[in-house]
Amino acid sequence: MDRIVLVTGGSSGLGKAVAARFRADGDTVFVTGRDAGRLGRAAAEIDARPIACDATDPGQVARLADELGPDLDVLVNMAGRNTDLDDDSPAEGLEGVLAAWRANLDANLLSAVLTTTAVRGKLRPGGTIVNVGSIGAEYASSSYGAAKAALAAWTAGLSSEVGPKGVTANLISPGYIADTDFFHGKLSEQRREALIDATHNGRAGRPADIADTTFFLASAGARHITGQTLHVNGGAHTTR
Ligand SMILES: NC(=O)c1ccc[n+]([C@@H]2O[C@H](COP(=O)([O-])OP(=O)(O)OC[C@H]3O[C@@H](n4cnc5c(N)ncnc54)[C@H](OP(=O)(O)O)[C@@H]3O)[C@@H](O)[C@H]2O)c1
């Protein structure tokens, strides 16, 4: 097709797989990330257009919106990470708690809010917004899970705002997906096995599972699906 697609966090893992899926269909695909070198290499590999941008920085997001053309058909807010997995040791006491929670809210909630706010006016009728949450939102004892739960709640309201313009907004909530940089090599084999054991189909998710679901949500067959959370987790969390 000849759609214009923006995938934030498109330099690695799920975002790169999503970008490649749309590009394989002939769409024009913009990808973002903070590390310009890695972004450039990924974009060259999948024939996408790189725009370096930290989705938590309002100035950079405004520049991203300026660099995109006037029109957009698909926005995928993939940029996100569990900041609790960063190497820097957290400050102590309540100041530390505050900083840690703000980091995850910035990375996973406000990143999507800022990008969507900056570019939503470009979305053409028939367009779609896909936010990316996490199965962690269902067991939100962490700031990461709470941020992803808030993202899901915000997506439902966003759907009601963009719906009258012929645009859909949904959230994909992945379970454990292998072959990404999400865990920075910190996932123990025991924990990995437990995550796979929790599924009904006995396997880890693959980036293609998320890419194909995102592609479907942007397709003509999904026009009446909006305001929803779609769980892609092999049954590790069921909605009933
Ligand atoms: N893998 C899983 O098991 C899993 C499960 C549930 C949900 N998720 C969610 O899926 C999304 C993608 O994760 P992944 O597994 O593909 O991890 P990944 O391989 O680490 O990819 C994350 C991507 O986001 C970019 N990014 C991170 N923070 C950013 C920011 N502030 N601004 C712009 N780009 C940013 C990264 O590039 P830079 O570092 O260069 O910025 C990278 O391109 C995340 O939202 C994650 O929370 C993943």
For the chain, 240 residues long, give each residue's pLDDT as a single digit of tens: 799 999 999 999 999 999 999 999 999 999 999 999 999 999 999 999 999 999 999 999 999 999 999 999 999 999 999 999 997 777 789 999 999 999 999 999 999 999 999 999 999 999 999 999 999 999 877 999 999 999 999 999 999 999 999 999 999 999 999 999 999 999 999 999 999 999 999 999 999 999 999 999 999 999 999 999 999 999 999 999
Identify the DSSP state of 126.
Answer: E
Query: One of 144, 176, 182, 215 is an active-site residue; which one?
Result: 144
Give the ligand 1 atom nearest the CA of 16: 43
The question of whether 139 is a catalytic residue gets the answer no
Residue of minimum CA distance from atom 36 in ligand 1 = 9
User: What is the pLDDT, as a whole number, of residue 47?
Assistant: 98
User: 115 alpha carbon to ligand 1 midpoint, in Å?
Assistant: 15
User: What is the pLDDT, as a whole number, of residue 132?
Assistant: 99
Pocket of ligand 1, candidates 12, 148, 195, 231: which has the most ligand atoms within 8 Å of its Cβ, to mutate? 12
User: What is the pLDDT, as a whole number, of residue 139?
Assistant: 86
Distance of alpha carbon 77 from alpha carbon 165, whole angstroms: 19
**Unique residue bearing structure tokens 């865990």:** 183
Ligand 1 site, CB within 6 A: 8-9, 11-15, 32-35, 38, 53-56, 78-81, 107, 111, 132, 134, 174, 176-177, 180-182
User: 202 alpha carbon to ligand 1 midpoint, in Å?
Assistant: 24
The b/e string for 107-123 (b: 16+ C-beta within 10 A; e otherwise) is: bbbbbbbbbbebbbebb
User: What is the pLDDT, as a whole number, of residue 90?
Assistant: 73
**Residue 132: which residues within 8 A CB-CB, separation 6 or more?**
14, 76, 77, 78, 80, 171, 172, 173, 174, 210
Give the ligand 1 atom nearest the CA of 35: 40
Residue of minimum CA distance from atom 24 in ligand 1 = 9
Distance of alpha carbon 136 from alpha carbon 44, whole angstroms: 32
Distance of alpha carbon 143 from alpha carbon 140, whole angstroms: 7
Structure tokens at 61: 């997001």
Structure tokens at 24: 């394989």
Superfamily of domain 4-232: NAD(P)-binding Rossmann-like Domain (3.40.50.720)
User: 164 alpha carbon to ligand 1 midpoint, in Å?
Assistant: 30
Query: Residues 14, 148, 143, 232: is their CA dihedral positive or negative?
Result: negative
